[in-house]
Amino acid sequence: MTGISDILGFNFVVIGPTLTLLATALILLFVTITISTPTFVKKYVTLFGILSTVFAVFLKFGLFLSDGVSSYFSEKILLDEFALVGNVLIVLVLLFTFNSFWKTSSQIDNKTTEALILILMSASGFLLMVDSENFIMLFIGLEIGSISLYALAGLNRGDQLSNEASLKYFLLGSLASCILIYGIALVYVSLSISGVYETSIAISFIGPENVPLTSLIGLILIIVGLLFKVAAAPFQAWAPDVYQGSPTGYVGYMASVAKVSSFIVLARLSAVSLNFIIDKFDLFFTAVIILSVLLGALFATNQLDLKRLIAYSGVIQSGFILSGISFGVYGISASIFYLATYIIQLIGVFTIFSIISGQLSSNFAISNLSGLFKENKFLTITFSIFMLGIAGLPLTSGFVSKFILITNLWSYEKYILVTVLMLSTVAGFYFYLKPIWVAAIEKTDNTIEQIKIQNSDKLLISTLAFLTIYLGLLPNTLVNITRWMVENYL
Amino acid sequence: MTGIILALLLVPLFSAFLIFSIPNTRKELFRPIGIVFSLITFTQSMYILFSDYSKSDFQILLKFEWIQVYGLEINLGISGMSTLLLLLSSLLVLLSLLSIGKEHSESKGFIGSILTLHFAINGVFISGDLISLFIFFEALLIPMYFLMGIWGGDNRRYATIKFILYTVFGSIFIFIGTVYTAVISYGVNARLAVDFETLSTLQISASQSKTLFLLFTFGFLIKVPIFPLHTWLPDAHVEAPTAGSILLAGILLKVGAYGILRVSIPFFTEGFLEYKNLVAVLSVIGIIYGAVVAIAQIDIKKLIAYSSISHMGYVMLGISAGEFLSIEGAIIQMINHGITAGALFMLVGFIYERRHTRNISSFGGVKITMPRYAAIFLFTSFASIGLPGLNGFVGEFMILMGSYNSYKVLTSIAAFGVVLAAIYMLWAYQRVFTGPLSNEENKNLQDLNLRETVSIFPLVLLMLFIGIFPSYIESFVIQEAGNLSETISLFRSTK
């Protein structure tokens, strides 16, 4: 006996992580508005919610192992390798950034609960986004996630930069959402479909050369909407201001979660209709990659604010990740590897910034670091590891990820792309080593204020630094996982 | 044997960690621990010297699977040339740890950086595939960055960034070359096999060989450095602390030439035959240019830095001639230059610690107050000039002899470099050591103490030993130089 719910594919395990996070947010809200709650209760409710989400992701794994790739909720929600890895990465981001966003939230007077709810909501939205098979579902997830992030950026009302960041992020982000939904509409108008798999089936059915122009434009607009979220040039303008203005404790979370979800969706789009994308959008992607890498390197070179520098470096990294996603199945797996290693370094860097300058601060000038070595050797060493990792020095994970990406690109004979990417790496050594110089080498008399570093932060940062080195020395496991993701599309 | 190979990497790394974990209150322990561990590495290299592998061509002894799905492996191995360079590097690390003054020897970071550098250097010389070669080649930069950045001279920021950017720019080419080779190898072996054994049997077309030769050699030539790409070297040497200069001149410059001999020539021979004339011309320009500029220097350290450009020009001339004798001479010259330049930088460091200046004009008549120092300096200068009976002569003579058949004019020009070397070294000696003690501050100079004498003495002994028994050191490279020249002549005859 199969009920109607089975036919429609109702299965709450599939959206389990999303539901768990939503439930946690609601419990927090309910508790806070009814009784006066001590802060530690909020902390443990949030932590418990995140840990339950980890459990829910495990359940999803079990479902995947028994049922394989399948869609649910009348083909709105998809459970495939990309969804699983996306879920795992987002939950890991939540876990890794919990410490710093909790501390930031607890410092914002009277808005602790709001901040936590916003974070949990945004994570649930992005989880929905990586799970979605349907474009409309994708849009809903993206909006739930993004709107929470806009609010998060401006949560520190007293800070002018924070307000500016929020407004800018909101205006430009909504524009991007408009573009995305317009693209979805165009695809629907021309092909009467609005799903990832449906699109690829339709394209192979009518033949790649007969695809109408409207749906081509639609697909490009969808991709542009997603590229906006990952701050690839020329859609990068918001990133430096938002990174700089937002409370430092939140930036690690904001930056990594948006990157993870958008890139996972892009990777899936690219994987299911790969040949089509390589054929038609080759030039578009090449242009975006070259622009991202050049613009990012150019602007990062003369930044005096470290958060802006990391933002522009993020533009370069987006170019790198995109270079894998748009060229070949192996490229996609290399990109996911790159993404995973990059967010580890990104979270590590921002955790260190928030420890040094305080959670709520907005500006973080390079000179803030001077005298760091005298004050705290642990932070200096780990900071250097993260920066060298982003720069791509051998013995760190950054090198392995760049190596497999470039190897893939070279096998597609993209020599110009390889040259541009490698040149940006040389430039990268200039601006990634500059903060290390200020922190570790430059002799200075004005020591920074005493840094109090908690044991939990120490544990977190050393874990992230260890992962950066470990994945540089023994990358085999993670490479195997990313390879497993794309095995079906070979 | 595999254990020894692995220990060459792990012992320096472990000792660096050990140094970093000692609290700063036990300052006096840093140097002894560093010396003990580099002595262990030195003993291991000696053990390799007396094993079967020290006279053979490159042999891979150890394989690890690195990234399974790509079929990437890390290979470690050893050859005659690597053995000599390993021995040289562990000796120089040991002696430079012994020679440094109190200011550096009581710094945890300094000793730790030198030991980390030792790890990376050993890694370069034992790596058996392009990936691990590249990894260790880049890993050299980090300890050098801190050594030059923290303990360097006044203008260290400029010099350090220049050094790093130059090297990274060069290594990008090596990186692309590695990727290109890996992709070619993937087409044949269905995996990214870039170990030296696979590469020696890999068939590549002439045009690919030319491109790859250019990519690799450009990267390595920056490190040598060859004439138009040399400008980082004088700055780096002047700003680096003494121990950094010793290791930079003694070993790091050899990494470039080693890479060309290990990778560029045997695997991309066709490219080598195409571009060897260009390299030869540039290296002869480097010989004369380095020597002429050295004459005009007023800073002793800069003078030796430019003399290094001149001497490494000989190495590159010998390599590009591609004859058995010239390649053999180039390898021996690499070792010899490591010994003499290391010794010269050490000597300059001694006097810099006493006077805190390296300006030639502020010295004069130092022989009167420091007779032992003057004698050793003169001896080392002779070795550097290439006086028969000392080590410098052996390498340069073999290179000039070997290259004459291929490049008659160029070799004749290069021979003038020896005369110029006599001018700049002896003139510098004259201005610093002879004449009256005109400067008041030089009147109270202390001669070398026991520690300093002990740290320079092994190098002096080696200069004499290699000068008198060149055949002993030659015996380690005969096989390798023979194989290289055979490969080259084979390709030349098929062309």
Q: How many whole angstroms separate alpha carbon B286 and alpha carbon B303?
A: 14
Please indicate whether, in this complex, the C-beta atoms of A394 and B169 are within 8 angstroms of each other: no
Answer yes or no: is pLDDT of A425 > 60: yes
Contacts of B172 in chain A (CB under 8 A): 422-423, 425-426
Nearest CA of chain B to the CA of A444: how many Å?
12
User: Which whole number is the average pLDDT over A44-73?
Assistant: 89
Q: Tell me what pLDDT residue A206 has.
A: 85
Q: Which of B10, B155, B183 to mutate to test the interface with A (most CBs of A within 10 A)?
A: B183
Give, in order, the Cα–Cα distances in Å from B442 to each of B56, B355, B472: 51, 8, 42
Instruction: Name the strand (E) or helix (H) holding A354.
Output: helix A329-357
A73: left (phi over 0), alpha (psi -120 to 50) or beta: left
Chain B stretch 78-137, residues whose beta carbon is closer than 8 A to a beta carbon of chain A: 131, 134-136
Please indicate whether, in this complex, the C-beta atoms of B161 and A422 are within 8 angstroms of each other: no
Give the residues across from A408 on adjacent strands: none
Contacts of A403 in chain B (CB under 8 A): 131, 175, 179
Contacts of B70 in chain A (CB under 8 A): 404, 407, 479
Of A410, A437, A476, the CB nearest to B183: A410
Q: How many whole angstroms separate alpha carbon A15 and alpha carbon A131?
A: 8
Q: Are A397 and A471 in contact (CB under 8 A)?
A: yes
Chain B nearest-CA residue for A437: B149
Q: Are A400 and B179 in contact (CB under 8 A)?
A: no
Q: Which of A476, A478, A485 to mutate to test the interface with B (most CBs of B within 10 A)?
A: A476
- Give yes or no for A480 touching B (CB within 8 A): yes
Of A323, A480, A467, whose CA–CA distance to B70 is shortest? A480
Of A393, A403, A426, the CB nearest to B172: A426
Chain B nearest-CA residue for A415: B176
User: Which whole number is the average pLDDT over A416-439?
Assistant: 89
* A186-218 pLDDT per residue, tens: 999 988 888 888 888 888 888 878 888 888 899
Q: How many whole angstroms separate alpha carbon B343 and alpha carbon A311?
A: 47
Of B70, B165, B176, the CB nearest to A404: B70
The SS3 of residue B179 is helix
Query: pTM value?
Result: 0.93
Residue A182 pLDDT grade (very low, low, confident, very high; cuts 50, 70, 90): very high
Q: How are beta strands B59-67 and B72-78 bridged, if at all?
A: antiparallel
Chain A nearest-CA residue for B65: A476
Residues in Cβ contact with A455 at an 8 Å cutoff, skipping those fewer than 6 apart: none
Chain A stretch 334-353, residues whose beta carbon is closer than 8 A to a beta carbon of chain B: none
Contacts of B157 in chain A (CB under 8 A): 437
Please indicate whether, in this complex, the C-beta atoms of B138 and A423 are within 8 angstroms of each other: no
Q: How many whole angstroms separate alpha carbon B222 and alpha carbon B209?
A: 20
Q: How are beta strands B72-78 and A77-79 bridged, if at all?
A: unpaired
- Give yes or no for A417 touching B (CB within 8 A): no
- Give yes or no for B20 touching A (CB within 8 A): no
Please indicate whether, in this complex, the C-beta atoms of B150 and A440 are within 8 angstroms of each other: yes
Please indicate whether, in this complex, the C-beta atoms of B172 and A399 are within 8 angstroms of each other: no
Chain Cα centroid distance, residue B1? 25
Q: Tell me what pLDDT residue A446 has.
A: 67
Q: Tell me what pLDDT residue B399 has.
A: 92
- Give yes or no for A293 touching B (CB within 8 A): no
Of B157, B165, B176, the CB nearest to A422: B176
Q: How many whole angstroms separate alpha carbon B327 and alpha carbon A33?
A: 83
Of B66, B164, B176, the CB nearest to A418: B176
Q: How many whole angstroms separate alpha carbon A23 and alpha carbon A47?
A: 13
- Give yes or no for A178 touching B (CB within 8 A): no
Q: Tell me what pLDDT residue B71 has.
A: 85
Q: How many whole angstroms separate alpha carbon A462 and alpha carbon A50?
A: 21
Chain Cα centroid distance, residue A174? 18
Please indicate whether, in this complex, the C-beta atoms of B161 and A433 are within 8 angstroms of each other: yes
Number of Cβ within 10 Å of residue B483's Cβ equals 18
Residues in Cβ contact with A147 at an 8 Å cutoff, skipping those fewer than 6 apart: none
Give, in order, the Cα–Cα distances in Å from B66 to each of A243, A474, B140, B192: 36, 7, 21, 11
Chain Cα centroid distance, residue A315? 12
Please indicate whether, in this complex, the C-beta atoms of B142 and A399 are within 8 angstroms of each other: no
Contacts of A475 in chain B (CB under 8 A): 66-67
CA atoms within a 13 Å half-sphere pointing along the CA-CB vector of B295: 12
Please indicate whether, in this complex, the C-beta atoms of B135 and A399 are within 8 angstroms of each other: yes
Give, in order, the Cα–Cα distances in Å from B369 to each of A66, A405, B379, B455, B473: 87, 62, 18, 20, 37
Q: Which of B70, B119, B127, B134 to mutate to test the interface with A (most CBs of A within 10 A)?
A: B70
Flag residues of chain B having pLDDT under 50: none
Please indicate whether, in this complex, the C-beta atoms of A426 and B69 are within 8 angstroms of each other: no
Q: Tell me what pLDDT residue A412 has.
A: 86
* The residue type at A339: L
Answer yes or no: is pLDDT of A1 > 60: no
B331: which 2 tokens? 């390898």
Contacts of A429 in chain B (CB under 8 A): 164-165, 168
- Give yes or no for A433 touching B (CB within 8 A): yes
Q: Tell me what pLDDT residue A448 has.
A: 67
Q: What is the largest CA-CA distance in chain A?
A: 78
Chain A nearest-CA residue for B182: A407
Chain B nearest-CA residue for A407: B179
B43: which 2 tokens? 């003993």
The SS3 of residue B67 is strand
Residues in Cβ contact with B159 at an 8 Å cutoff, skipping those fewer than 6 apart: B148, B152, B153, B232, B235, B236, B238, B239, B240
* B110-146 pLDDT per residue, tens: 889 999 999 999 999 999 899 999 999 999 888 999 8
Please indicate whether, in this complex, the C-beta atoms of B192 and A394 are within 8 angstroms of each other: no
Q: How many whole angstroms separate alpha carbon B62 and alpha carbon A225?
A: 50
Q: Tell me what pLDDT residue A447 has.
A: 65
Domain ranges of chain B: 1-267, 284-495
Q: How many whole angstroms separate alpha carbon A129 and alpha carbon A225?
A: 13
Q: How many whole angstroms separate alpha carbon B395 and alpha carbon B467?
A: 9
- Give yes or no for A8 touching B (CB within 8 A): no
Chain A nearest-CA residue for B187: A411
Residues in Cβ contact with B439 at an 8 Å cutoff, skipping those fewer than 6 apart: B362, B363, B364
* The residue type at A276: F
Helix spans in A207-328 (H): 213-229, 238-245, 248-272, 274-301, 306-325
Q: Tell me what the pLDDT averaged over chain A comes to.
A: 88
B143: which 2 tokens? 């300890």
Give, in order, the Cα–Cα distances in Å from A420 to each of A297, A320, A323, A392, B204: 11, 10, 11, 15, 26
Residues in Cβ contact with A390 at an 8 Å cutoff, skipping those fewer than 6 apart: A313, A317, A342, A345, A346, A349, A398, A428, A432
Please indicate whether, in this complex, the C-beta atoms of B68 and A479 are within 8 angstroms of each other: yes
Q: How are beta strands A70-72 and A77-79 bridged, if at all?
A: antiparallel
**Residue whose structure tokens are 């960034």:** B161
**Residue whose structure tokens are 């590229």:** A227
Of B65, B151, B145, whose CA–CA distance to B106 is shortest? B151
Q: Higher-confidence residue: B300 or A74?
A: B300
Of B431, B420, B419, B451, whose CA–CA distance to B358 is shortest? B431
Please indicate whether, in this complex, the C-beta atoms of B165 and A437 are within 8 angstroms of each other: no
Q: How many whole angstroms separate alpha carbon A460 and alpha carbon A445?
A: 30
Nearest CA of chain A to the CA of B66: how many Å?
6
Q: Tell me what the pLDDT averaged over chain B comes to.
A: 89
Omega of the bond prior to B12 within 30 degrees of 0, cis?
no
Q: How many residues does chain A have?
A: 490
Nearest CA of chain A to the CA of B95: how many Å?
26
Q: How are beta strands B59-67 and A77-79 bridged, if at all?
A: unpaired
Give the residues across from B74 on adjacent strands: B64
**Residue whose structure tokens are 């930031």:** A104
A271: which 2 tokens? 């994987």
* The residue type at A255: A
* A121-165 pLDDT per residue, tens: 999 999 999 999 899 999 999 999 999 999 998 888 888 888 899
Nearest CA of chain A to the CA of B255: how many Å?
17
Q: Higher-confidence residue: B402 or A446?
A: B402
**Residue whose structure tokens are 């909501």:** A121
Contacts of B186 in chain A (CB under 8 A): 411
Q: Tell me what pLDDT residue A69 has.
A: 84
A266: which 2 tokens? 């892009």
Q: How many whole angstroms separate alpha carbon A310 and alpha carbon A300?
A: 8
Of B139, B168, B176, the CB nearest to A395: B139
Q: Tell me what pLDDT residue B154 has.
A: 84
Please indicate whether, in this complex, the C-beta atoms of A475 and B161 are within 8 angstroms of each other: no
Q: What ipTM describes this predicted complex? A: 0.90
